[in-house]
Amino acid sequence: MKSILFNQITKSAEQPDLYTADKFNVVVAVIAILFIGIFIYLFSLDRKLNKLEQNEGK
């Protein structure tokens, strides 16, 4: 009986660590997606500005 109770206590104590690790991975993934999106936006904006500058010179 003591071993069953001990296993339940240790499992419940381990669960928050697993949940925080999952949350950490989600936060890292969201931040990575945001940075990739910002990079793509800036890259496309730079290309558009270069096209406008070339057309203005002609």
pLDDT confidence tier of residue 53, bands split at 50, 70 and 90: very high
Rounded Cα distance, 50 and 39, in Å: 17
Entry pTM:
0.61
Query: Following DSSP, what letter does each residue of 2-58 receive, concatenated?
Result: HHHHHHHHHHHHHHHHHHHHHHHHHHHHHHHHHHHHHHHHHHHHHHHHHHHHHHHH-
pLDDT in tens, 16-40: 666 677 888 999 999 999 999 999 9
Amino acid at 30: V
Structure tokens at 10: 């240790």
